[in-house]
């Protein structure tokens, strides 16, 4: 029995390691491209989840329940803005500070270990969310339409935001876009005097 449990734990760990390898690669790409942190990406995913949940429920629900959907969406957005977003930023700051000081943040690791449980549970709840979207009396049974699938995938997006916060901490930098724009500006500044001198030296008719 103990061996069986260890085998299951080992399988879960391998799956989790594979997922996190992909998440870490995605976060590093995001950081190199935009110059922003994992918290910025996680918060973007959380907001996207909120908006897609509210929008999909608006189209799925019976007309008389739509005002409740708008109210619930506002509460969800309020919760994300005041709790989830600051919490992610705080976790990023704690881990960044500990890395700069060459220390190990037990508090940050405890939060990430909790997300190790909640993230897969949230992602795995997508089929339940899909089934819930057909339950009366709130919802209209309109078949396997796009809003039902979007509603289910919204839970995946929220779970993805927690996976992102479990990724390795990355520091803000200029990002590829910002660096490209700066390089373009420098090129224009360097080209401008040349253009002016060419125009001045051109023979007048």
Q: Which of 54, 55, 64, 56 is nearest to 144 (CA)?
A: 56
Distance (Å, rounded) from C-alpha 20 to C-alpha 30? Answer: 15
Distance (Å, rounded) from C-alpha 108 to C-alpha 98? Answer: 9
Question: Of 200 and 20, which is predicted with more confidence?
Answer: 20
Q: What confidence score (pLDDT) does residue 1 get?
A: 47
Tokens representing residue 157 in the block: 């997006």
Asked if residue 184 and residue 83 are part of one domain, the reply reads no
Tokens representing residue 107 in the block: 């508090």
Asked if residue 104 and residue 187 are part of one domain, the reply reads no
Q: What confidence score (pLDDT) does residue 49 get?
A: 94
Asked if residue 178 and residue 166 are part of one domain, the reply reads no
Domain count, the chain: 2
Question: Of 105 and 200, which is predicted with more confidence?
Answer: 105
Asked if residue 116 and residue 182 are part of one domain, the reply reads no
Q: Which helix (H) or strand (E) holds 67?
A: helix 66-79
Whether pLDDT at 7 is above 80: no
- pLDDT per residue as tens digits for the range 101-117: 888 788 888 999 999 99
Asked if residue 89 and residue 141 are part of one domain, the reply reads yes
Asked if residue 147 and residue 190 are part of one domain, the reply reads no
Asked if residue 37 and residue 18 are part of one domain, the reply reads yes
For 12-34, b/e burial (b = at least 16 CB within 10 A) is eeeeeeebbeebbebbeebbeeb
Most confident of 7-11, 42-46, 130-134, 183-187: 42-46
Asked if residue 178 and residue 102 are part of one domain, the reply reads no
Q: 137: cis peptide before it, omega within 30°?
A: yes
Asked if residue 136 and residue 107 are part of one domain, the reply reads yes
Asked if residue 191 and residue 156 are part of one domain, the reply reads no
Whether pLDDT at 11 is above 80: yes
Q: What confidence score (pLDDT) does residue 87 get?
A: 94
pTM flag (> 0.85): no
Domain that residue 87 falls in: 2-170
């Amino acid at each position: 029995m103990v061996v069986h449990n260890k085998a299951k734990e080992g399988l879960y760990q391998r799956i989790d390691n594979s997922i996190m390898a992909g998440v870490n690669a995605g976060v590093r790409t995001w950081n190199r491209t935009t110059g922003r942190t994992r918290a910025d990406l996680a918060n973007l995913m959380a907001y996207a989840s909120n908006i897609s949940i509210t929008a999909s429920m608006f189209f799925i629900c019976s007309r008389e329940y739509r005002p409740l959907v708008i109210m619930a969406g506002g509460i969800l957005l309020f919760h994300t803005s005041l709790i989830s977003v600051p919490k992610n930023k705080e976790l990023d700051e704690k881990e960044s500070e500990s890395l700069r000081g060459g220390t190990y943040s037990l508090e940050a690791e405890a939060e990430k270990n909790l997300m190790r449980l909640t993230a897969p549970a949230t992602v795995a709840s997508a089929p339940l969310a899909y089934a819930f979207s057909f339950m009366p009396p709130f919802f209209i049974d309109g078949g396997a339409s796009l809003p039902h699938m979007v509603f289910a995938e919204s839970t995946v997006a929220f779970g993805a935001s927690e996976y992102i916060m479990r990724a390795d901490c990355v520091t803000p930098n200029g990002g590829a876009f910002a660096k490209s724009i700066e390089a373009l500006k420098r090129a224009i500044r360097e080209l401008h005097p040349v253009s002016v001198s060419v125009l001045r030296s051109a023979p007048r008719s």
